[in-house]
Structure 1
Amino acid sequence: MNRFIKVGIWAAGAGLLLTTIMLLIPKKQPAVTPATKEASLKPGDDFYSYAFGIQVQNTPWGKDQVGNNFDLLQRFNVKDLKSILEKAAVNKKAPAGSVEKRVGDFYAAGMDTMTIEKLGYTPIKTDLAVIDAIKTLPELLKEINHLRTNGIAYPLYGFSAVQDPENASVIIPFLFQGGTSFAQDNYLKDNKYALEIRNRYSKYCATLFGLTGVSPQKASVNAAIIFNIEKQLAAAQLSPVEMRNINSVNNRFYLDDLSKTTPGLDWRTILSELEVKGQDSVLVSSPVFFAAVANLLKTVPLDHWKLYLKWNILKEAAPFLSHPFVKASVAVTREWLPGEIPTPRWERLSWLTDGSIGELLGQLYVKEYFAPATKAKMEELVANLRKAFEIRIKRLSWMESATRQKALAKLAAIRLKIGYPDKWENYEGLEINRGTFFKNIRAVRRWQYLFMISWLGKPANRERWETTPPTVNAYYNPIRNEIVFPAGIFRPPFFDANADDAVNYGGIGAVIGHEMTHGFDDQGAQYAADGNLKNWWTAEDEKKFKAKTKMVEAQFNKYTVQDSIHVNGKLTLGENIADLGGLSVAYEAFKMTPEGRSGQKTGGLTPDQRFFLSWAQLWKEYLSEEDLAQSILVNPHPPGRYRIIGPLVNMDAWYKAFQVKPGDKLYKKPGDRIRIW
């Protein structure tokens, strides 16, 4: 549910985090009320600015930083990881094969810059030479499969093993569109942001080739050739909005039938070279894309494809090679995400360790930083929210009894995962060597690939986690019908063990409600209680539900981000439904608590005001214009301003809490307020 789920995530410090949150305070202490200039704002005119009070002016964020409270908390958590990793790296008493030893060796190898600098780009010279030796298209295709199975690069398309949407107990191969380096619109449109990103991309591509000894002129030509290939791949892709259509991306093919639609691509041979055995069918996200790939393989010259494969090797390897490669990689990240602060090596290595062997590092993190009492508190909160959701479903006036019973059954069946896995993955067979950083990266990726394809032909493991314990995020998985909250998110501003119910229900409570509601958003509602993709709605209720979702889509389409750029209501629809439902459910649950039922003020604020202000405090963000413009293209979440006000303007309780009246800019007539769950 985060704004950006970058596989590593921005970071900062605890003191900065706490000063951004106005209401997250221990019980019995007075709340900080909206102050000075912002105090004079009418909540019904600009609740975003009103909610942050003086903090908008005295923010600890520097002008070169971007992000939101997810990012700030990640910056806080990564310092805990650093502490764990540095201790493990110098622990000479850790037994061979122990968690501490393996984690410490991985981190130490990455911090051994002297050895890394000596190697330069030697670790990928053999890979590049293999590409040079390719003489035919079949050899090229075989090498593409080799690159993928060994975690060297992931050209042309994506491949994974997933639960079958129509039979969630089965794991099936999945082919999906890919092969590009950034958002589709940046290849196909000619606005100022797209043109600037293409220019930066070409320079980055040329820089990496230049670091391998290619002349500047030739490197620039290479960059143009590669961009042209990726542009054609982008043109064949479904758009982010189209990808939200489950029926469009759930296409089952027998291998021979798929091969007929992609002349020149024999999928039996390809799956064999991908080391996949015993599978006669696959899921395909976009058959049109794979037909286009087959055509491009015939029309684009072989030498151009060889350059494309080299580029894929270079861009995957650059962050793990010597300083010039890392510098180029970090620089282009900052250019693509303007305002991104330079990330110290220890921070990048901390997140890399988490992303590579996260269930080893996670064991140490949980032991040190996740209290058992927090897990118990969250289980209680979830139980209360589930009860509130049940109450709301039972009194829905637009839903018939038949559909209502199915909805209640699905709600009751939602599984809860909190903090960390009950059974840790130990990465059996993965060798980690303190002196071979790049080999460790390749070994991890090879292990991850083999681990993934080992799922095929076996019953789906519903206990497996898709994130690591230190991660600041949460998710709902429709095919498992589960909500997952890693340990990393259970800190302010999302949860504070010392805060009162108004703060925690408006914070982590709304996040929990958000994830629950994903089971009933426009996509989640297509999955049944057992995780299978099947329609459990009566025709009339489905029609009513879609009409309500159209209202949400239309509401967000009207929000202007900058100039002529608007929020994409169709792309953000699932998140907007989840925000509206999640906050409504959290408020319902809050009103069951003693504080929620009382009218006693704290620091001049009523419990309801504190609840809604706590929600607003979650979505404070600082984005550059370009960052915001790029986010609109691919991010299924709207900007923070509209995450705050979008659901609020549909909730009667918010109007009452802040005396929002006709004439206020955010006012919506009672009959226009959207209620779904």
Structure 2
Amino acid sequence: MDENPAVRQEMVTMPEEQPQPHPVVCNKYRGLLLVVFAFSLFAAAFGLGVYCHLQKNADPWMPRWKSGGSYTSEERHSVKGVSNEDNRELDKKKEARTGGIMRMRRETDFQGKSDGQQVKFPDRKTALLKTIKEILEAPEEGVSVNAAEQKAKKYFSTCMDAESTEKVGSKPFLTLIQQLGGWAVSNGLNRTDFNTTLALLMSQYSTFPFFSVYAGSDSGEKQTASSQHYIQIDEPYFQFPIDWNSKTQKSKASTRYLRPFYMSCGQYLALLGVPSNQTTQHCGLYISLSTTLALATAPLHYRLSQKLLYHRITIQELQTLAPAIDWLACLQATFQPLPISQSDLVLVHNLPYIIHMSQTISIWQVQHEMMGTRPLHTYMIFSLLHTLIPALDSRFFQTMRNFSIATGDTQEEIPRWLRCVQQTERGFDTLLSHAIRERHAQKEAEELIRDVYLSLKKKLTDLSWRDNRSSAFILNKIKSLNPRLSTKTNNLSHAELNHLYAEVVLSEEDFFSNYLQMLVLEQKSRSRLLSHGTLTEGLSITPSISGNDIIIPVGMFVSPFFHSSYPRALNYGTLGSLMAKDLLHLLLPNIQTQANNPESESKCIWSHYLSVTKDPGWVVTFSLSPSKQQEVWVQYTALQVALDAYKMSFTRHPGDSSLSGLSYIHLFLSSFTKVTCDADSYHEFMPFEPSFLVTVLCSNSGFCPKPLTCVNKSQSYPRETCQSRTLH
């Protein structure tokens, strides 16, 4: 900490918010009391009915900001130019907001559990998946539901029908094997060409046994809105853990997991009706080939250090270096109907592995193919099996799960609805992002984005930068960026969406065939990305930069974080503050080294925290690390930015609704406190409960008259978490 005498640190205050006189002295414990009330008020908004005495304070904002009520009938008639029809429209909006609030209460269940504990906000990814589930389960409203959405709902419905999947057992996969020419394990293999089978698996079944293929940009190129996308070739995903020896810089399969891996192989074959006397030979060859291929893999940090990523090479050059694979035929099949030629560039992320893989395939073709065991073909069929396990009966999934547990996977099994939502998302991502935008992220979402970014720019302009040249670059970049909601693919009309999924024909009962259709949709998505360089970001929850655009995905605008019918104070307090944090982390990842404010303000906040939580005279030797100093500043700045953004919104919409008669400021701050404690992914980097930032804001803005004072102490703090304090 700063060893200078006590320094009075003037925090950045909002216009019109000078401290107001008050008869009660704001002592050091009142700030903490305010936080407790903030939590209580938010809980009251969702069923506990608590109110607090802080409304006695002279609110520095306009009366309606404090009142927390909607227009009365007299106020509506007194507003110049408001007709009876306008009044009816206001009533409709109020009714819609009330309905939205009731939905919010049901969705988040903030009334509390039976054991008295408060129910938390879900994490943002879970909230998005639950929203998708609601869309997929919503009843069809007449004939107006577009055909594409009907197909997505049908896919989800057949996925959820576990009983039908259990009835058919392994028959669908065995039928598919026969369509692919059989396999040597059952002595029914036709002499299918290795590369023909490989190309078919890559194009029709999203299965990449020996290497992975996808489309993406080159990280070494300057990213623009129209950045070129390339075919990318990488190591495949292996079903078993791989150990890396940092001394020899070699990989090998983890020997302690080979036995359970062998056992799972035998269990799969038994489920497919393969005689037990065939298991030893074919599982042995499968494991031998797998472990041989794994020898040339390397972890990401090694590939980065050796510059093995984004190696540019033409398809023709790759064919010369790794001749066992018919690269042109396989890539043409994967990205059909796009024209792919020998001269096209591809990006390889571990060329030594690709060369080793090709050599291994050539050797195994010579050594084993003449024996009739066809291990390369068996290896491809096993890869296909792992791709299709989600569409097979539960015995296959349980076998895979048992092996994962044997390798140390302690994560709980995810529920079926979640797996089905994720599978539906894989094939219908464009449709679902469109549906989320249509239902949730309308005009109010675009207003929130605009207000938050405008407030953020104002805040950053006032920073004290350490270097004029770098600050000019940063500020010019921030001013040139344009935040926008998701991508152009989300603006498709219903007719265009129907055309996009026109070739998809789904069964009412056969989920296996529907799953195969979803894999074809994945192939089309890869082709679109390669040809147009556009990807649907609607099902993301993280902002990103593309050229001069900041992409704000519609996946962020889901309840309970946001809904157009919620009070704006709640939307700005929850999603507005989360968005501000996301943008600060995205745009200024190293703000601690670029500006003076993060260090000085975070030290001041930390000192204030210790001054109101520790006994007088308590002295230790601890200060915040630079990373925690930065996070404290980011969190506090995000609160200020979101609050300023809401003030902008409030000037345009002074008739904002509220909850349980709460004032707007209380609802906003309570929303911020609740969501920051429950659902903020950056919370783990904070040295104290983020809710304390409300105390800091109030101590400095007129809500609590005593100004924030930095104290001269060398202090430390035993970490607390939001869960350590009961919310009443």
Shift of 1:240: 4.4
- Does structure 1 conserve the Cα–Cα contact (< 8 Å) formed by 2:444 and 2:564? no
Letter in 1 for 2:339: K
Correspondent of 2:204 among 118, 131, 150: 150
Shift of 1:311: 1.6
Which residue number in structure 2 is paired with residue 508 of structure 1?
575
- Does structure 1 conserve the Cα–Cα contact (< 8 Å) formed by 2:449 and 2:483? no
Post-superposition CA distance 1:324-343 (Å, at most 9, x none): 33444566677775352562
Correspondent of 2:345 among 254, 257, 281: 281
Q: 1:592 to 1:493 in 2, by over 3 A?
A: closer
Correspondent of 1:128 among 156, 170, 177: 177
Shift of 1:441: 1.7
Correspondent of 1:485 among 553, 558, 578: 553
1:386 aligns with 2:453: yes
Query: What are the residue-to-residue correspondences of 1:579-658 with 2, within 5 Å?
Result: 583=635, 585-590=637-642, 592=644, 611=672, 614-619=675-680, 642-645=684-687
Shift of 1:171: 3.2
- Does structure 2 conserve the Cα–Cα contact (< 8 Å) formed by 1:615 and 1:644? no
Post-superposition CA distance 1:469-515 (Å, at most 9, x none): xx7x33425568432333465323577965675x7556423432344
Shift of 1:356: 2.4
CA distance, structure 1, for counterparts of residue 381 and residue 245 of structure 2: 20
Which residue number in structure 2 is paired with residue 408 of structure 1?
476
Letter in 1 for 2:355: A
SS in structure 1 of the partner of residue 516 of structure 2: helix
Q: How many corresponding residue pairs?
A: 540
Post-superposition CA distance 1:185-237 (Å, at most 9, x none): 69999xxxx88877665544432222112355754765565455445555544
Larger deviation: 607-616 or 288-297? 607-616
Shift of 1:417: 1.7
SS in structure 1 of the partner of residue 544 of structure 2: strand
Structure 1 regions of 5+ residues with no counterpart? 1-19, 33-51, 526-540, 549-574, 620-636, 668-677
Correspondent of 1:442 among 512, 516, 521: 516
Correspondent of 2:383 among 312, 315, 321: 312
Aligned-pair identity in percent equals: 13
CA distance, structure 1, for counterparts of residue 190 and residue 427 of structure 2: 35
SS in structure 2 of the partner of residue 445 of structure 1: helix
Q: From the CA coordinates, give the structure whose radius of gyration is larger.
A: 2
CA distance, structure 1, for counterparts of residue 696 and residue 113 of structure 2: 22
- Does structure 1 conserve the Cα–Cα contact (< 8 Å) formed by 2:204 and 2:523? yes
Letter in 2 for 1:460: G
Letter in 2 for 1:180: F
Q: 1:645 to 1:590 in 2, by over 3 A?
A: same
1:297 aligns with 2:361: yes
Which residue number in structure 2 is paired with residue 626 of structure 1?
none
Structure 2 regions of 5+ residues with no counterpart? 1-38, 53-109, 369-373, 599-626, 651-661, 700-707, 720-728
- Does structure 2 conserve the Cα–Cα contact (< 8 Å) formed by 1:155 and 1:312? yes
Shift of 1:253: 1.5
Letter in 1 for 2:443: A
- Does structure 2 conserve the Cα–Cα contact (< 8 Å) formed by 1:123 and 1:438? yes
SS in structure 2 of the partner of residue 421 of structure 1: helix
- Does structure 1 conserve the Cα–Cα contact (< 8 Å) formed by 2:481 and 2:548? no
Correspondent of 1:103 among 152, 156, 161: 152
Which residue number in structure 2 is paired with residue 175 of structure 1?
233
CA distance, structure 1, for counterparts of residue 200 and residue 149 of structure 2: 32
Which residue number in structure 1 is paired with residue 533 of structure 2?
460
SS in structure 2 of the partner of residue 592 of structure 1: helix
CA distance, structure 2, for counterparts of residue 590 and residue 363 of structure 1: 27
TM-score, normalised by the number of residues in structure 1: 0.62
Q: 1:208 to 1:70 in 2, by over 3 A?
A: farther
Which residue number in structure 2 is paired with residue 83 of structure 1?
137
Which residue number in structure 2 is paired with residue 563 of structure 1?
none
- Does structure 1 conserve the Cα–Cα contact (< 8 Å) formed by 2:230 and 2:346? yes
Shift of 1:521: 6.2
Which residue number in structure 2 is paired with residue 536 of structure 1?
none
CA distance, structure 2, for counterparts of residue 172 and residue 646 of structure 1: 45
Letter in 2 for 1:175: I
1:431 aligns with 2:494: no
TM-score, normalised by the number of residues in structure 2: 0.59
Shift of 1:314: 1.2
CA distance, structure 2, for counterparts of residue 582 and residue 79 of structure 1: 33
Shift of 1:147: 0.2
Shift of 1:442: 1.4
Letter in 2 for 1:338: T
SS in structure 1 of the partner of residue 451 of structure 2: helix
- Does structure 1 conserve the Cα–Cα contact (< 8 Å) formed by 2:568 and 2:646? no
Shift of 1:141: 3.4
- Does structure 1 conserve the Cα–Cα contact (< 8 Å) formed by 2:270 and 2:276? yes
Shift of 1:259: 3.2
Correspondent of 2:443 among 366, 370, 376: 376
Post-superposition CA distance 1:100-141 (Å, at most 9, x none): 542344344445556544543232225535362699999323
SS in structure 2 of the partner of residue 397 of structure 1: coil
Q: 1:496 to 1:102 in 2, by over 3 A?
A: closer
1:258 aligns with 2:322: no
- Does structure 2 conserve the Cα–Cα contact (< 8 Å) formed by 1:179 and 1:233? no
Post-superposition CA distance 1:286-317 (Å, at most 9, x none): 33332332233245565443332122111111
CA distance, structure 1, for counterparts of residue 352 and residue 592 of structure 2: 29
Correspondent of 2:491 among 410, 422, 433: 422
CA distance, structure 1, for counterparts of residue 243 and residue 693 of structure 2: 35
